[in-house]
Amino acid sequence: DELQWTGMAASINRFRAEVLGIDRLRFGSRGADLLNGFHVPFAKMWSSALAPKAADWGPNVDVVGGFFLEQATSYDPPPELVQFLEEDERAPIFVGFGSMVIEDTDSLTRMIVDAAAAADVRVLVQSNWSALSSGALPKTIFPMGPCPHDWLLPRMAAVVHHGGA
């Protein structure tokens, strides 16, 4: 609860002040106990196969599973992506950073290139906000932009994903 409160305190306090017209909660004022104290229904959005509902969570807290966007009904991948996928019988590993902003792209790029070489794997790297280092990439690394996961992930050997934020 404390960890969750730390991440949500600013939003909750803004809502309290601007919408409800009540005082903000200050650090140490037991804000973390609000959900349970007032029995607010709360949904943990992950599969119970990953982590079941904890025994000490009240009846107001449920693990409800993941939320999914509608699947892409039609997607026409860029020819370069199709070529990368088809030029080797080994399925690549997908590494996705979503909207994470990477400050040191040179170091990250070197780490990905070195890890791929050491493991002798091909890697598809997706980053929506930060480009990979502008240096030359080996042919086993393919940088890409947005692509529907329901189309892409079944074609991968493994997935390394930021997990959402």
CA gap 16, 27 in Å, rounded: 15
CATH of 79-161 among 3.40.50.2000, 1.10.1060.10, 3.40.1000.10, 2.102.10.10: 3.40.50.2000
Q: Is 144 left (phi over 0), alpha (psi -120 to 50) or beta?
A: beta
pLDDT digits (tens, 9 = 90+) for 80-130: 999 999 999 999 999 988 777 778 888 888 999 999 999 999 999 987 655
Alpha helices in the chain (DSSP H): 2-15, 34-37, 79-86, 105-119, 149-152
Taking the domains of the chain in order of start, what are their residue ranges? Answer: 2-63, 79-161
**What does residue 124 show for φ and ψ, rounded to 5 degrees?**
-105, 120
Amino acid code (one letter) for 138: P
Phi, psi of 43 (to 5 degrees): -110, 125
Over the stretch 39-59, which tens digit does the pLDDT of each residue have?
Answer: 778 899 999 999 999 998 888
